[in-house]
Structures are given as structure tokens and as C-alpha cells.
Amino acid sequence: MSENNKHKATRKRKKKKSIGFKIFIGFLCVLLALAVVGGGYVIGLLKKVDNIELNKENLGIVEEEIKEYDNAKDIKNIALFGVDATDGQTGRSDSIMIATLDPVHNKLKLTSIMRDSYVYIDGYGQDKINHAYAYGGPELAIKTINENFGLNIEEFVTVNFSSLPIIINILGGVDIEITNDELEYINGYIDDINSKDGTYSPHITYAGMQHLDGTQALAYSRIRYTSGGDYKRTERQRTVLNALFTKLTSTSASSYNSLLNEVLPYVQTNLNAGDILSLGTKVLSIGNKLEQDRFPRDGYGEGAMINGVYYLTFDLETAKQQMRDYIFNDIQ
């Protein structure tokens, strides 16, 4: 190979690596702010993460059910929880997602679970799925997901929603289209966040494409009173995460160090640094194709008042089958 061609090949490999690491960072940041760029100094950064242990014998994995899916052993599922907790409190998981690394179908998947879903929680009976985290932290929350939907989740990442504005502000904001219905409510949420966080983000004054700062984007993701209710709310959360993904994959690597330093203290996980770097390698091999779904799917659930409390009710066996078919067999 000529020297010129060698240089071209080297530049191509460096470019591929750079794009790959951006995809990895984007993917994990989108999956509630965990990120890694590789290299020795990252191990030190990752020590800022609040690493906790789970009892893997108490995560509700039903091995016999999992064996029904030939691909299950090759597919990695990680629970992602977003909590709005103040210091010293566990808080409910107002955002519940499953990140799937699927090398079988060469995809990254993000599955949302409706937070008002009426499910069984061990020791507490039928309740909203987002209460499991408040009752027993990530261990009970994972157990509740595994037992109700027949999954094999062992790892988790939890981020306090207060980190979302930090990430977005470091990246210079995100572009999101605001509808007239959303405009009616977003400014109230902006005022509430400004009051609690001591920020001064301005109101949104008209509908249409907007460049949102961190506070405004968090306010947008919390809107739940427009038509579509909580289904639309989870869609807005995914819209913000997609906007973050887009921004991260186009931002310079020089921003990563600042991002990691600011965000990692907000992260709880049972993944260690080695696990995270290993995941990075797997994500690099898959690429940047990110697909999303939510359960129960539209048309398969309905709201119900039970003892004066609103729940989202649905046929659990149908939702369970649909979710496992999507995650393990890539059936839409």
C-alpha cells in the first residue's frame, strides 16, 4: 500500500472511530445521561457515578420463559429510570424505559413503559408501575418489570431529571417544535422549574419550531394535559431524547469532558466502568440505528378510576407478548 493510501486509510479509521464514539456517547446520554469516550482517564470520571449493588436473585427473572426466545441470550436489556427526587428521597420513576442492544438484528432499541400502568408489585399488590421505584428502589422496579413483562433485565441506570437541563445547556440547547396545545401549558412548567432551580428561562411566546434551553426542554417533557394525556407525554420525552441524540452525534469531542463531569454525579447504576466500556464496544459494532416503541401500545389500554385513583389498565398477556416480540424477535 502506498504511503498516500496508508494516510487515507488511517484518516478513514479515525473518522469512523470518532463517529462511533459519538454514537456511543449519544446513545448512552440519550438513555438518561450515562456516557463514555474511552481511554484511561474515563475510569476516573466514572468513579463519580453512584454505583450500587443489586441482589440478582431478587430481580424476578423467569428463566424458563426467557428460554422460549432463542435470541434472548445475545440481546442486552438495561432498565432506565428517570426520577424527580429531592435530596435524600428515592422518588417515583416518572420515566421508565428499556434500552436494548440487539446485535442479532443490528439495532439499538428504546422501549417506554407507561408510568400509570396497572401492574402487580411484589409486596404491595396492584399499583402504578412507577410506584415500585419509590417502594423499593431500582431492585424492586426491575423485578416489577421482569415479573410483569417476562424480561431478563439485570442492569439499570437511574438519572435524576434535574440533570437534563445541565446536559442540554452544555450542548447549547435543542430544537423542538411546539404546538398550540403545548404552548398553553409549557410556560407554567417553565415558571415552576425556574422557581425550584433558581433559573430564569424565558417563556415560549408562539407555536412552531423553537430552540429550547435546558429548563424549557424539561418543561416541554413534563406536559401531560393536552390531548393524548400520558401517551403524548412519553412521546415528548422521547422527542427530547431524540433531539439530544441528534445534537450529541454532531457535537465536538471537546464538549464530552465537561458533559461527563457535570452529569455523572447524577447517575446511579450497578454497571461498573468495565461494563460500560464493554457496552461501548457493542454499541460501536451495531451503529446508530435507534428505534423506539412504548407499551401498552396505543389502542391496547384505557384509563380507569380504581378506588378514586387513575390507572392505565390493559391486558397484561397481550402487552407482555408484544413487548417480548419487539425486544427479542424485532417484530413491530
Q: What is the pLDDT of residue 264?
A: 73
Q: What is the pLDDT of residue 292?
A: 82
Q: pTM here?
A: 0.74
Q: Reply yes or no on whether the pLDDT at 237 is more than 80.
A: no
| Residue 58 backbone dihedrals phi, psi, to 5 degrees | -120, 35
43: pLDDT confidence band, cut at 50, 70 and 90?
low
C-alpha cell at 56: 440478582
Yes or no: say if 211 and 236 are a contact pair by the CB < 8 Å rule. Answer: no
Q: Which is higher by pLDDT, 204 or 97?
A: 204
> CA separation (Å) from 150 to 68, 94, 144, 255, 328?
11, 21, 10, 39, 11
Residue appearing with cell numbers 427526587: 85
Q: What is the pLDDT of residue 103?
A: 87
Domain coordinates of the chain in residue numbers?
A: 50-160+270-329, 172-244
CATH architecture of 50-160+270-329: 2-Layer Sandwich (3.30)
Q: Which is higher by pLDDT, 304 or 24?
A: 304
From CA 177, how far away is CA 169, in angstroms rounded?
18
Most confident range, picked from 83-87, 247-251, 327-331: 327-331
> Which of the residue ranges 180-194, 195-209, 249-263, 265-279 would you say has the lowest mean pLDDT?
249-263
Yes or no: say if 81 and 133 are a contact pair by the CB < 8 Å rule. Answer: yes
81-139: pLDDT as tens digits: 887 665 555 667 778 889 888 888 888 888 889 889 999 999 999 999 999 999 999 99
Q: Number of H helices and number of E strands within the chain?
A: 11, 13
- Does the domain spanning 172-244 belong to CATH 3.30.43.10? no
- Output the CA torsion sign for 283, 26, 47, 43: positive
3-state secondary structure of 73: helix
292-314: pLDDT as tens digits: 888 999 889 998 999 999 999 99
| Residue 299 backbone dihedrals phi, psi, to 5 degrees | 90, -5
Dihedral over alpha carbons 324, 69, 144, 99 (to 10 degrees) = -60
Q: What is the pLDDT of residue 261?
A: 73
Yes or no: say if 133 and 95 are a contact pair by the CB < 8 Å rule. Answer: no
Q: What is the pLDDT of residue 26?
A: 47
